[in-house]
Structure 1
């Protein structure tokens, strides 16, 4: 989102400054792959943080359900192709790019921003906003009505001790910038808790998924690796669904904080790895599962990730269990036919000890239902790995119709971290929208001087 916002502003003739808390994408890739090979976690350079954002280490799926009346999504695809994405993403029904191609594309987009006069500062984290209090105004939302302080943004205090004067700041920090969310909340930026989902990664052999989906045509190179999208509504009112399905991919260690384990999935463009994986997650809500504080969802995520770290052996190995054992409530003792793809490694255990009971019960009900759609989905030697907690941001930084924060003028919450996107395509679309809004406001203020 932030990269697209900067690119659009640069193409308009502005000179945006991008503040990236992580490293440039090549160095970030070295740190991330090093962590997967049991080197120390770098909290500022990993799957979540660094140039390109969390989407860089993903399947690069280009699906979106956002309303796009101005066809910004077409612009996103055009820029992706210009940066090196396969031209087929402009017309195939389920386009994807793959991790390694995304790395090269991010570099080319950065190069264009700089050539157009923009600037990118790596290893630079925003520590604090410089705000002027303007008064109080009513703030209306789904969860609250009342008066809150209204502020004007003046600038940013940065992690290197410097100060950057700024009246238009696009906040595109991703869904894992918990320290930033906490700092913003402490300063009075209006934030609400929002629903998200938790669960596990599930792995099967890709050949089994192909056979179930394509029948006798499985293995045809024209079809490639099969995917799936599954939903089950449980008797207890919970919804279980597949998320971020990665055909021919791997389960990856996606931690960004020391002493916590979290999973994600990614695929290369070829999708030629042995296993298919997907998150199988249960929807949770602030009202029912983490009430009382706008940042309570973050506390819930951290608690689950800390427990997964402990159960996994406190070395970033992830807790895992065979599907058959999970269904029977029996700890697993050995791997079956599906070999785990997660590195640094897994620890076989009882996953019901890692998540709340309502998650366990809902997934146990959903797996047999999914097996009716994909025969073999409930196969006993399939593998579950935990925990999957970062399906989306646990907070929403509310904004007005002009895309500015409801109580901080000049601050433009954007992308997945602020609750306005869910994937690289919708994040790019939101980046364009917010860039246009910031540009219009900057030009209007310039004309009024």
Structure 2
């Protein structure tokens, strides 16, 4: 096939105009175009340029070799790369007959889902252990915190089928290097499970929480149909290790599960499991992460600042942003997990602690835009070993619970008051979306002094990029602590733990992903490594 890039059409073009543009671009008669499909679509919304879609298109033509020679000097007409997925292995007969131990996947978030799916598709019949509940039961428990101030420590935004990504914007783009197009495999599987087909080609695909719920259920069923097992409410509390080889998994209230290949797809909030791994002698190390607040503005303000005269165009949708500022005290402040037209959600997983996160539905039509405004920190800020970052997070989350009134309401402050260093007493034009509620206070004590100083400097600086960003009535809600795992369960080139054979650290919890797409990709890579080890 042939790929054309930078094919530009007016944003309100008719569907048939894509084919006409291809024929014109290649000076090709209609009879020579066999078929085409859109690989990517982005938009050009510069304020002084006519609004347009920019396409990358793959097509099949007659006399392909002759046509490529004609455009040999044209960088925008090239052979299409192979983006299809190719399985690396097939399960050995010992797995099929039950004479070998089946692989075990701990955690059923995006990484665990794709590790299990790939293993199942290769015939390995994986056993998945998920400490939380099925996604619809889990949703009910999550609403229990949001509506009734009741936290279930084992079923919440962090724990349960689908992982933390279920209650998010459902973003499916990443900056990871992906030469084998594993990301394409992830997206194709999501479409097969019911995601909108457009996620296969839009520049910044997203799904939204409600759609993710049904998709996760369909993928679960495929794994089961292929011989896998998904066991819910299975809390892993320890590991059996003999001669630096994993031999089994300890499950609360049950007999040990024998295992020779265990995928650790824990997510970044499985703090008790991190401790169990550390107690078992599994090598891990502290790593940098970030802490900060959620900020909310009117989505209309962001749309106008980012899209100018194109603000409100339904074909473009709600605008997003990505910001970074290097503060005078040496700290980097940046926007994290920006959710256009979304809500700020309660994401605590431990009693008497407050954690924020952002979420959007597919429509992205809520009144507020929100994003984390976070400050980078390093292990030097929380010395004490691999688990010290967890304690650092806990201290901030406990303080936020206290500042919010000890009811799971979150502490909040108007941006204008935060910059001036005075407590807020009433909301202005921006009403916060966080449930169960926001308690206005002074956030100066919610983070370390260096983080407060850096954020106070960054907000006016961001105003230079997005007019209105430091508006007085914008709302800050604390605290954002689960940006990424505070540790890395280090692995080698074979994807196994550095010191425990058969243990495969994976995804966000292990420090190897950040977001749904990258976690899914890492799950695929680890599943391949597991499969190849069975055959070695």
Q: Could you say which TM-score interval applies, normalised by the shorter chain?
A: over 0.9
> Could you say which residue in structure 2 is the equivalent of 1:188?
281
> Could you say which residue in structure 1 is the equivalent of 2:533?
441
> Could you say which residue in structure 2 is the equivalent of 1:277?
370
The alignment partner of 1:386 has SS state of: strand
* Cα drift, residue 160 of structure 1: 2.2
Aligned 8 A contact 2:410 2:477 in 1: yes
* Cα drift, residue 292 of structure 1: 2.7
> Could you say which residue in structure 2 is the equivalent of 1:339?
431
> Could you say which residue in structure 2 is the equivalent of 1:16?
126
CA distance in 2, matches of 1:402, 1:384: 43
> Could you say which residue in structure 2 is the equivalent of 1:73?
183
Q: Pick the structure with greater CA Rg.
A: 2
Q: 2:410 aligns with which of 318, 321, 324?
A: 318
> Could you say which residue in structure 2 is the equivalent of 1:294?
386
Matched, 1:171 2:264: yes
* Cα drift, residue 235 of structure 1: 1.2
* Cα drift, residue 270 of structure 1: 0.0
The alignment partner of 1:37 has SS state of: helix
> Could you say which residue in structure 2 is the equivalent of 1:403?
495
The TM-score, its normalising length taken from structure 1, stands at: 0.94
> Could you say which residue in structure 2 is the equivalent of 1:252?
345
Which runs of 4 or more aligned residues in structure 1 lie more than 3 Å from their structure 2 counterparts after TM superposition?
none
CA distance in 2, matches of 1:220, 1:78: 28
Matched, 1:214 2:307: yes
Q: Deviations over 1:204-246 (max 9, x none)?
A: 0001111111112211111110100000011111100000000
The alignment partner of 2:464 has SS state of: helix
Higher relative contact order (CA 8 A, sep 6+): 1
Output aligned runs, 1:215-230, within 5 Å: 215-230=308-323
Q: 2:521 aligns with which of 406, 409, 429?
A: 429
- Could you tell which deviates more after superposition, 268-277 or 435-444? 435-444
CA distance in 2, matches of 1:297, 1:229: 26
Output aligned runs, 1:27-426, within 5 Å: 27-133=137-243, 151-287=244-380, 289-426=381-518
* Cα drift, residue 384 of structure 1: 0.1
CA distance in 2, matches of 1:157, 1:385: 38
Cα distance change on mapping 1:183 and 1:114 into 2, 3 Å: same
The alignment partner of 1:363 has SS state of: helix
The alignment partner of 2:294 has SS state of: strand
Q: Deviations over 1:392-441 (max 9, x none)?
A: 00000000100000011000000000000000000000000000000111
Aligned length: 426
Q: Which structure 1 segments of 5+ residues have no match? A: 134-150, 445-449
CA distance in 1, matches of 2:127, 2:384: 37
* Cα drift, residue 161 of structure 1: 2.2
> Could you say which residue in structure 2 is the equivalent of 1:5?
115
* Cα drift, residue 39 of structure 1: 4.2
Aligned 8 A contact 2:149 2:408 in 1: no
CA distance in 1, matches of 2:292, 2:301: 23
CA distance in 1, matches of 2:178, 2:328: 35
Q: Deviations over 1:226-272 (max 9, x none)?
A: 10000001111110000000000000000000010000000000000
CA distance in 1, matches of 2:158, 2:192: 25
